[in-house]
Structures are given as C-alpha cells and as structure tokens.
Amino acid sequence: MTNIITTQNPCTGAVLQTYEGWTPEKIEAAVSAGHVAAKEWGKQPLATRVAAVRRLAEQLRSQAKTFAELVTAEMGKVGAEAAGEMEKSAVTAIYYADNAEQILADETVSIAGVNTWVSYEPIGMVLAVMPWNFPVWQVMRFAIPAITAGNGVLLKHSPNVTGCALALEKLFLDAGLPRNLVTTLVVAEPQVPQVIDSLIQDDRIAAVTLTGSNRAGAAVGAAAGRASKKSVLELGGSDAFIVLDDADLDAAVTAAVKARYHNAGQSCVCAKRFIVSQAIAEQFTDRFVAATKALVVGDPTSAATQMGPLARPDLRDALDQQVRRSVEAGATLLAGGKAIEGAGNFYEPTVLANMKPGMAAFDEETFGPLAAIAVAKDDADAVHLANATPFGLSVSVWSASNERALAVAKGVTSGAAFINAITASDARVPFGGTKKSGYGRELATAGIREFTNARTYWAAKSA
C-alpha cells in the first residue's frame, strides 16, 4: 500500500510533484493543534473574525495569478476559469464580511414573562472533504462562512490537487488567521477511507462536510450518523436544461454550450441532460452540435483555448465507457465520442441524441464534455424526463414566458431552479441538493448557520 502522492499535469502528463502521506502521529498532532486553535478562535469577537475574512479577500485577489496557474497545472482548468475561482471566492469573503453581523445576530423571541433569544454560536473544528474540480472555490465556499462563524477547518483535499491544498493553508496564514486554525491533511488515496472514518469518530471533530461522489458521501454520512454528528453533503448531479418551444433559441443554445462545457464538463451543477420540446428539437440540436464542434480544445494555458483536458486519465476513460454504453443502448452520436490522441487527458466535446431513461448518459452522472439530448412531447413530459433521475441538484428552464417556465421548474425536484439562466452558485443564495444530490446547504444565511449551534436562551423576567 503506497503512501506517496504524485501530482501530474493533465495536459502533458508530466509529473509535477510528489508528496509523502502523513503518518497517524502527524495527523494526530494536527487534530490536537487544530482543536485548540478552533476553541480560541470561537472566543474571538465577531469583529475580529470579520476583519480576518476581509484580509482573506485581499489575499485571494493579490495571489490570484499564482493560484490560477497552479490550478491549471494540477487539474487542467482553462486559465480564465481558474482566475474566476479566485475572484468568486474573494466576492464570497466580502459578502460574509459585510453581512455576518446581521446573519449571526441574536434573534429575540417574544414570549410573555420571559426574555428569550436564539444565538448562533461556533461549534468547533469541522472536517472538510473536498474535490478536485474547483480546487479553490469548493474549499472557500465552505471555509469562509465556517471561519466567520468562529469555527476551525481540517481540510482533506483530493490528492491530485495537493499543491493547491497546501497553498490554501498558507493563504489563510498570509491573511493573518491563527496558525492551525486551517490545516491541510496530506493523505494518500489508499489511506483515505480509514483516516476519514477515524476523524469523524474523534470527539474533537464537531461536524463534517463533503463535496464529492455519492459513494463517498454515503460513507461519510454513515460515519457521521454513527458518531451522531452533523454532516452536510453536496453530491452528484445530472441537471436538466429544459428548452420549451417558445424559447429564444439563440440565447438557449449559447447558454447550453457554456453550461455543459465549462470546466470541461467537470461540475456537479452544470447542465448534463438537455430536454427539448419536440417542435424545436431539430433546430436546437443542429445549432448546439455546430457550436460544440466549433469549440477550441487544447492547452489550458493558451488564451485561445475554450476547453482543456479532463483532470485524470481514469475520468476520461469512465466518460468514454458511458458514451459507448449509451450508443449501444440506442443513442445517436452527433459529435465527438472519443479521446483525442496524443499527450494529455483530452476528450472530444460530445453530443448524444435520442436519449432516454435507461441509457447510461441519462441515468448516471456524467463528469466530462458529454451532452445528452432528449425530446419532450410537451411540458408535462419535460417535467417527467427531468425527474427521471436519482439526482436533484438544480434545473434550468428556458421559455419566452417566465410564468410557463416557473410552472415547469416547480414540477422538477431540485435544490435550485433557474429561469432563462445558467445554474450556478452565488454567495447570496443557498446552494445544495435533494434526493441523491445530498443534503444541507452552503452559502448565504443557511450556509453559515449549518455549522453553528442555534442555542436558545430563556430567562425569567425579574419580579
């Protein structure tokens, strides 16, 4: 069983760095120090915590170029998209710095004869198990509110972005946060299940959050249940992008291409199943295929590149198998459909039509540049197809009538619904899923309160 982590450039295959996974003794030392730091941080006035979060926003912006280059090197994200992660994280830090006093303020409850209020208090150290697809943003959208609320963070990041993970720990220190308040654990893949389970059972860990696969989420959720601990899970998605027959086709196609191929399709909350009204299905499909074929795929460090490689070879191979199984089941291949020869984990932007429930690319989460198009007879059928999935993260509906689109969206089970807009997370609104897309919320008021103790105070009034 190896204890070595090797990071590779997904564009070239070149080895970037090797890291030795931490020993149990080193992990124990980190947990012990983090527990102490979190307890002390929770005692700090909110104004102190807010000031630190403002400094964090400054560091996110001042180090944006260096970080973006590291993200691109480790997981292949196009440069502009990598820079976007940094800015989105900075904006989120500013949002919480501006709004924390209001969000975390005591809430008075009017009850005759008593003084009653609810306080949102820190809970301690939170274990965060984070994925590679947005190496900075995924961490920051949890860590910023958690720290603002007075908690500490123990980060177990994906091994293939270990460089990003360690740089993030330093970023918090550069912002002047206390040492050990945010700690990155370096854990090699074979040790991950045992390490995560033991940490969740540790009394010094107050709660756990995970963004990742359903398999990983089920394991973490079960472990948290055994330990009677709070957990927040943001899991997979197979979002429907519904185009009704009165939609602006130009706008819908432009948005659909961006929604599917952003980050090479490696996002839980991007459009994956395109459900199109029968009357416009041919027009939409023709335009979408043409736009897909026009995408510039290549070196993510080039300003001309619109889509880079997949993050790892196994991800590319898994996507290829989903394409093949779907075609064997009756799907029609209209674009792409194979790995691009040469160095790197590149896969052609791919479009499958005649998709139906029961096909791999319809039933399963696809994590790569694969668009699945299904035709709906009417609005009710579009809702039926959108719901024919175990996932429920978000839905996007396109129509000239907001009222009609909203009626369709309300029929789809999801954590969010977007009308004539691409699904996305935003600091000002809660983010999370339903069904097998997880539970709990990140961002906004709901997100920061997930990892607080909503504590009731009840004091009899003096006679």
What Cα–Cα distance (Å) separates residue 136 from each residue in 63, 143, 358?
A: 12, 10, 35
Is residue 11 part of the annotated active site? The answer reads no
Instruction: Provide the b/e sequence for 107-127 (b: ≥16 CB within 10 Å).
Output: eeeeeeeeeeeeebebbbbbb
**Is residue 187 classed as helix, strand or coil in its secondary structure?**
coil
Q: What Rg, from alpha-carbon coordinates, does the chain have?
A: 23
- Please state, in angstroms and rounded to a whole number, the distance separating the CA atoms of residues 175 and 90: 12
What Cα–Cα distance (Å) separates residue 21 from each residue in 162, 186, 191, 354?
A: 10, 5, 9, 46
What does the block give as tokens for 271? 């459009």
Of 11, 164, 268, 270, which one is the catalytic site residue?
A: 268
Of 234, 348, 364, 365, which one is the catalytic site residue?
A: 234
What number of other Cβ atoms are within 10 A of residue 179's Cβ?
12
What does the block give as tokens for 442? 């990140």
What does the block give as tokens for 336? 């792409």
Query: Nearest Cα to 329, choosing from 282, 303, 364, 305?
Result: 364
Spatial strand order of the sheet with 271-277 comes to: 332-335, 350-353, 370-376, 271-277, 239-243, 394-398, 416-419
Is residue 234 part of the annotated active site? The answer reads yes
Looking at the annotation, which residues are catalytic? 234, 268
